[in-house]
Amino acid sequence: MKRIFGALKAYPFALFCLAVFALLVVLALLAPWITPQNPYDNAAVDFFDASLPPGTEAGTGEFIYLLGTDALGRDLYSAILYGLRITLLVAGSASLIALCVGVLAGLVAAYAGGWADTIIMRLVDIKLGFPTILVALTVMAVVGTGLGNLIFALAFAQWPYYARTTRSAALVEVSQEYIEAARSLELPPWRILMRHLLPNSISPILVVLTLQLAHAVAIEASLSFLGLGTSIEEPSLGLLIANGSREILSGHTWQLIWPGVALVLLIFSVNVFGDRFRRVLNPKEA
Amino acid sequence: MTAPVLELNDLSRVFARRDGWLDRMLNRAGLGKPPERLVAVDGVSLSLRDGEMLGVVGESGCGKSTLGRMAAQLLPASGGEVRFRGRAISDLPRSEARDARRNIQMVFQNPYASLNPSLSVGDAIMEAPLTHGLVRRREIPDRLASLLSKVGLSPEMADRFPHELSGGQRQRVGIARALAVSPEVIIFDEAVAALDVSVQAQILNLLADLKEQGGFSSIFISHDLNVVRFISDRIAILYLGRLVELADRDTVFARPHHPYTRALLSEVPVLGAARRRFTPLKGELPSPLSPPPGCHFHPRCPFAQEICRRESPRLREVQEAGGTTHLSACHFDLPQPSPEAGPTPPPHPKEDSHDT
Amino acid sequence: MLKVDNLVTSLHPGSRDQVDIVRSVSFSLEPGQILGVVGESGSGKSMMAYSLIDLLDRKIAITGGSIVFNGEDLSAAKQARMRELRGNRIAMIFQDPMVALNPVLTIGEQMIEAIQAHRRMSRRDAEAHAIKTLARVGIPSPESRMSAYAHEFSGGMRQRVVIAIAFLNEPDLIIADEATTALDVTIQSQILAEIQGLAEETGAAILWITHDLSLLSGFADAVMVMYAGQVIEIAPADRLFGAPRHPYTAALMRAVPVAGRTRLENLEGVPPSLADLPPGCAFAPRCPRAQPRCSQNVPPFEGDTTLGWRCFFPLEETP
């Protein structure tokens, strides 16, 4: 780990992106304390302030709409930070679930081999044969909208990436003598998986995590944009963008631009960092 | 008499190429390539006596590592059985089989691959005894210290990680890890082959000491006759998956019976020998994928007769003055070569059959 | 024919992190002579050999001494000249024959190419010469093997092909780095026999690098022992094995298992890191004969390039 961080130091832009991502996460976490308005609280939102340009003072005179308001009169700055929260919550928990399922499947496939390997990897192949967005769309169409379903759909669409990477990393380790030694010592299989196989296969999995996190954000945004994601009362970034795009002809450009900027920053920072991370871990690909 | 601690009974291992479904279909239609079969170990029987170190010698591809892995239950046998204290491990109830397998440990060749890079020395050694309830948690420091000192490492080593250790130190950790579960049998698979001469000497001395202290029987697998001669009590010689000779160490070196053993002995480099002409065995090692018929050694054997091409010789007890068992798989009782003259000329010179 | 004088090779030359990995190595080689170079890993034996033929990594360079080959100073030679010499006057044999063989060309094509690169010879003559050389290293039915690919040979046969290629242009010097380490004993002694015969026949000098002391004892004419980048002893083989003068050589010999030995020399510790050498003799920390002086001053090399050692307190010469 020290080595990896040392190698990353040589790429200040990647570290800058990591910092941007961290800043976005912190902003999202602190949203209730650093925003003037709770955009989900109908009592706090003044419908008469709809579609005000940035810099306008709120009708109540208590604060200024830094980035303007949306068509429902919500403070855009507050809505973006709250939307960021939702987006990160959805993408983050979906990625974590996909990670756990995928890593476990990959480890079992690599260690057990035989028919377990065949079944797991065939499932992975089938899934990877379809575009992720299509799978997520289909799942959403079947189970319906809602936060929980959205997370489920994303995790369902993404676990195979983790499984595939984990399996190939673990296969290299399985043939090592220390795994044979562990078997010879009659250690229980779960222990061999978790204590011997997993820690030594972890770095490529972390790379997949960063890249898939960015991907999850993008898919969540797409689904929300298409109206299959979060509800209008509690919009994620994607839904804010969708709403904003409808206002573009009315000249309310800020309603599209600022949520867009936030989304691009988020995806871009995670992607750039993940890509550099991958190349640091696997210099051959660079 | 009690049963030997470990018996390998007619043990075989066949590796077959795993065909894809297309190959299988083609095969069924008689269109595909015939499936390749590699007989890595071909009906080897050995029994390990209490407290002894049995050397298993052979060149690459002779199946010695496969044999070791089958004995350690890391690889299933295609035929035959492994008996621990007189009972076939495959027939034992689950928990007893586990116990038997725990009692057969292995020390590996590559000190850089045989330790989990993410476990400290202490964790690597104590993990198994803890999992199996062989030690209590509070006994760990003492037990660990005694194991480390047994393999010649200082107690501070417990907190080190493999990448901080030299090859010799790693090998010592590997030995301590095997000893930690108090096994009755330890299989050393080329355990000193990857080490520098001076480090190899340290590890061999350590093994000699451990053997002296007793507590386990062992199989020492190696390609290096000099090393096996130093450490083993009895020596088994394998050629292309078959056992060709088995006898006490001194018998093997003083009165080798099988022509292959003799060739091996005459060609092993000996320190201090004056500059000499090498009088090598002719011919290459045949591929284990298509071993020669009859006696596997006949194409290279200076004494081969017609029968050697047809019939594979049975392992039989050969004339022995000392009274200890001396087994050899040769059709003939060839006269012992005089120590200086090198291989004796064949009794019936035969035409060279190289141009086949 | 080959005279190496005070050769120094360094990692990161000229920078603050400069580490000398070959330290003041001197020796000479005569036609037909087999010089064995023995040492443990990190002794600099391979780096020394690669220095001779300029096959060094970019971070490593010769920083001192001279290499005179047939009257020509190689340490000053241009790369183009070195390329000309390699494969023609000087040949290499590595541990892994696949390094030297091209997997997509037949053995015959590679051999003919190797001949024609250095000699004006018709294709037919080159082919005949290649077949003759293959036969000479003991490859059965060489005519038909010319059209085979490297992967169609067994390990031992492959190494024989490499040796045949090395001898193709009847070089003056052959450098073999652990050339038989990966082979089995019976195959190894076949190869050693071929090499001995070829050296005698063609007059090629052979620098045979190995970690295996026993192998050299029946094979080499002279042996050079390296430790921490230095030659610590050099002597005719019978003399070195009969009466080693340097304590390291003696310890190494006592560490090899031989008949009747029940205890091996316990040479404690490991060779020093070249980046962090002890102030005096590099072997002093492990030496059973070390005196205070040994850890203060570096012992000079006593003797000449055929017989000498680097020790303040050498072992007595036993008659």
pLDDT at B66 over 50: yes
| B16 vs C: CB within 8 A | no
The CA distance from C195 to C201, in Å, is 10
Q: Which chains are adjacent to chain B, needing at least 3 Cβ pairs under 8 Å?
A: A, C
Each residue of A183-203: pLDDT tens digit?
Answer: 999 999 999 999 999 988 888
Mean pLDDT to the nearest integer, B44-64? 91
pLDDT of residue B356: 34
Q: State which residue of chain A sits closest to B131, comparing Cα positions.
A: A187
The CA distance from A285 to C111, in Å, is 35
- Using a CB-CB cut-off of 8 Å, the residues of chain B touching C266 are 201-202, 205
Most confident of A20-34, A99-113, B268-282, C53-67: A99-113
Work out the percent of chain C whose per-residue pLDDT is above 90. Answer: 47
Most confident of B38-42, B105-109, B324-328, B337-341: B105-109
pLDDT of residue B330: 92
- Using a CB-CB cut-off of 8 Å, the residues of chain B touching C217 are 269-273
Q: Are strands C34-38 and C222-227 parallel, antiparallel or unpaired?
A: parallel
Q: Is B248 exposed, middle or buried (0-12, 13-18, 19+ CB in 10 A)?
A: middle
Residue B3 and residue B33 in contact, taking contact as beta carbons nearer than 8 Å: no
| B120 vs C: CB within 8 A | no
Nearest to A186 among B102, B115, B118 (CB): B102
The CA distance from B14 to B27, in Å, is 19
pLDDT of residue C55: 84
Each residue of A239-283: pLDDT tens digit?
Answer: 778 777 777 777 777 778 888 888 888 888 888 888 887 777 765
pLDDT at B29 over 80: no
Beta-carbon count within 10 A of C144 CB: 9
Beta-carbon count within 10 A of B185 CB: 21
Q: Which secondary structure element, helix H or strand E, spans residue C28, and what is its range?
A: strand C19-29
Give A55 or B104, the one with higher predicted confidence.
B104
- Helix (H, G, I), strand (E, B), or coil: what is residue A171? helix
Find the length of chain C.
319
ipTM of the complex in this document: 0.85
Please state whether A73 falls in left (phi above 0), alpha (psi between -120 and 50) or beta: left
Structure tokens at A265: 């920053």
What part of B 288-307 touches C (C-beta under 8 Å)?
300
Nearest to B127 among A177, A184, A187 (CB): A187
The CA distance from C247 to B239, in Å, is 39
The CA distance from A11 to B146, in Å, is 47
Each residue of C57-82: pLDDT tens digit?
Answer: 888 989 989 999 998 888 878 888 88
Mean pLDDT to the nearest integer, A63-92? 81
pLDDT of residue A51: 72
- Using a CB-CB cut-off of 8 Å, the residues of chain B touching C214 are 226, 269-271
DSSP E strands in C240-289: the ranges are: none
The CA distance from C156 to C137, in Å, is 11
| B200 vs C: CB within 8 A | yes
pLDDT at B351 over 60: no
pLDDT at B2 over 80: no
Domains of chain C (ranges, CATH numbers): 2-89+172-185+197-309 (3.40.50.300), 97-168 (no CATH)
Mean pLDDT to the nearest integer, A82-95? 88
| A34 vs B: CB within 8 A | no
Nearest to B98 among A180, A181, A186 (CB): A186
DSSP E strands in chain A: the ranges are: 56-57, 64-65
Distance in Å from the first CA to the final CA of chain C: 32
Mean pLDDT to the nearest integer, A30-58? 75
Q: Which secondary structure element, helix H or strand E, spans residue B37, and what is its range?
A: strand B37-48
Mean pLDDT to the nearest integer, A16-21? 88
Chains B and A touch (3+ CB pairs under 8 A): yes
Q: State which residue of chain B sits closest to A199, comparing Cα positions.
A: B118
pLDDT of residue B322: 62
The CA distance from A251 to A264, in Å, is 22
Nearest to B281 among C186, C262, C263 (CB): C186
Give B230 or A50, the one with higher predicted confidence.
B230
Q: State which residue of chain B sits closest to C190, comparing Cα positions.
A: B280
Residue A236 has φ and ψ, to the nearest 5°, of -90, 180
Give C210 or B290, the one with higher predicted confidence.
C210
Mean pLDDT to the nearest integer, C220-237? 94
Domains of chain A (ranges, CATH numbers): 2-285 (1.10.3720.10)
Q: Which residues sit opposite B247 in a β-bridge? A: B235
Each residue of A111-168: pLDDT tens digit?
Answer: 998 889 999 999 999 988 888 888 888 888 888 878 888 899 999 999 999 999 999 9
The CA distance from C116 to B226, in Å, is 45
pLDDT at A54 over 80: no
Residue type present at position A50: A
Q: Where is average pLDDT lowest: B24-38, C133-147, C179-193? A: B24-38
Q: What is the DSSP letter of A141?
A: H
pLDDT of residue C317: 74
Cα separations (Å) of B325 from B107, B238, B245, B317, B318? Answer: 28, 17, 11, 7, 8
- Using a CB-CB cut-off of 8 Å, the residues of chain C touching B264 are 185-186
Each residue of B293-317: pLDDT tens digit?
Answer: 999 999 988 888 999 999 999 999 8
- In the structure, what pLDDT confidence band is assigned to residue B352 with cuts at 50, 70 and 90? very low
Mean pLDDT to the nearest integer, B5-19? 86
pLDDT of residue A57: 75
- In the structure, what pLDDT confidence band is assigned to residue B355 with cuts at 50, 70 and 90? very low
pLDDT of residue B211: 93
Distance from the A179 Cα atom to the nearest Cα atom in chain B, whole angstroms: 8
pLDDT of residue B35: 63
| B197 vs C: CB within 8 A | yes
pTM for the model: 0.84
Residue B25 has φ and ψ, to the nearest 5°, of -65, -45
The CA distance from A12 to B83, in Å, is 62
pLDDT at B354 over 50: no
pLDDT of residue C282: 92
Nearest to B72 among A176, A184, A196 (CB): A184
Distance in Å from the first CA to the final CA of chain A: 19
Q: Are strands B217-222 and B185-189 parallel, antiparallel or unpaired?
A: parallel
Q: Is A176 exposed, middle or buried (0-12, 13-18, 19+ CB in 10 A)?
A: buried
Give C86 or B219, the one with higher predicted confidence.
B219
The CA distance from C214 to C192, in Å, is 13
Work out the percent of chain B whose per-residue pLDDT is above 90. Answer: 61
Contact B272 C211 (CB under 8 A): no
Cα separations (Å) of B60 from A102, B276, B297, C94, C234? Answer: 40, 25, 15, 19, 34
- Helix (H, G, I), strand (E, B), or coil: what is residue A60? coil
pLDDT of residue B290: 82
pLDDT of residue B350: 39
Candidates C12, C16, C91; CA nearest to C59 is C12
Q: Which secondary structure element, helix H or strand E, spans residue C60, and what is its range?
A: strand C60-69
The CA distance from A55 to A78, in Å, is 14
The CA distance from C160 to C171, in Å, is 16
* Interface with chain B: mutation pick from C143, C161, C186, C258, highest number of B CBs within 10 Å: C186
The CA distance from B80 to C48, in Å, is 52
Residue B8 and residue B219 in contact, taking contact as beta carbons nearer than 8 Å: no
Three-state SS annotation for A172-225:
HHHCCHHHHHHHHCCCCHHHHHHHHHHHHHHHHHHHHHHHHHHHHHHHHHHHHH
Torsion of CA C112, C116, C118, C119, to 10 degrees: 120
The CA distance from B191 to B3, in Å, is 27
The per-residue b/e assignment along A87-97, b for 16 or more CB within 10 angstroms, e otherwise, is: bbbbbbbbbeb
- Helix (H, G, I), strand (E, B), or coil: what is residue B125? helix
- Using a CB-CB cut-off of 8 Å, the residues of chain B touching C237 are 275
pLDDT of residue B245: 95
pLDDT at A109 over 90: yes
Residue C38 and residue C223 in contact, taking contact as beta carbons nearer than 8 Å: yes
Beta-carbon count within 10 A of A18 CB: 20
Residue B101 and residue A181 in contact, taking contact as beta carbons nearer than 8 Å: no
Residue C67 has φ and ψ, to the nearest 5°, of -125, 110
Place of tokens 């690597």: B124
pLDDT at B341 over 60: no
Give C292 or B38, the one with higher predicted confidence.
C292
pLDDT of residue A275: 82
Place of tokens 């000996």: B270
The CA distance from A204 to A206, in Å, is 5
Greatest distance between any 2 Cα atoms in chain A: 74
The CA distance from B175 to B167, in Å, is 13
Distance from the C78 Cα atom to the nearest Cα atom in chain B, whole angstroms: 36
Q: Is C45 exposed, middle or buried (0-12, 13-18, 19+ CB in 10 A)?
A: buried
Give A126 or A79, the one with higher predicted confidence.
A126
- CB–CB contacts below 8 A, B to C: 138
- In the structure, what pLDDT confidence band is assigned to residue B17 with cuts at 50, 70 and 90? low
Chain-wide mean pLDDT for chain B? 86
Mean pLDDT to the nearest integer, A201-224? 86
Mean pLDDT to the nearest integer, C204-223? 92
* Interface with chain A: mutation pick from B102, B115, B116, highest number of A CBs within 10 Å: B116
CA angle C171, C176, C181 (to 5 degrees): 150
